[in-house]
Amino acid sequence: MTTASITENLVYNENKPAVTKLMETSTTKEIRILMRKGQLMKEHTAPFPIVVSLFKGSVDFGVNGEIQQLKKGDLIALKENVPHDLLCTEDCIIRLSLSKLDTVKRVESVA
C-alpha cells in the first residue's frame, strides 16, 4: 500500500509552478502541481492521455484555443497529443494523473 496527501506539505514557488510526484502505481504517476495566481504553464502536449483534477483554486485551461474555466472539484481528461495550457486565476492545487510511461521531467519542463 502507498499513501500520499495532495493537501499537506505545500510549498509554492514564487516564479513558476511547483511540480511534485506524489506516488507511482503500476499504471500511473500521480503528480501535484501548485500554482500561484498569474502563473502559467505554456502550451504543451502529453504523449499519453491525462486527467487533471482541481483540488483548490481556479484555472483557465486552454484546449485548442478554447478556454475552460476550472474550479475546485472539476476534472478534465485529454487524449494524447492535445495542445493545452493553464493560467492560474486563483492559487491552486492540481492533481495530474499521467501514464506510467510518461515522465515527471516533461511536466517540469513546461512549468
Is 2 contained in some domain? no
Q: How many domains does the chain have?
A: 1
Domain assignment present for 4: no
Kindly list the distances between the CA atom of residue 52 and the CA atoms of 1, 23, 69, in Å, as whole numbers in the listed order.
23, 15, 13
Residue 50 belongs to a domain: yes
CATH at 68:
2.60.120.10
- Residue pLDDT, tens place only, 25-58: 999 999 999 999 999 999 999 999 999 999 999 9
Cα dihedral 67, 105, 101, 11 sign: negative
pLDDT of 17 over the 90 cut: yes
pLDDT of residue 55: 96
Domain assignment present for residue 11? The answer is no
pLDDT tens for 45-100 read 999 999 999 999 999 999 988 999 999 999 999 999 999 999 999 999 999 999 99
Q: What is the pTM of this model?
A: 0.95
In a domain, residue 100? The reply is yes
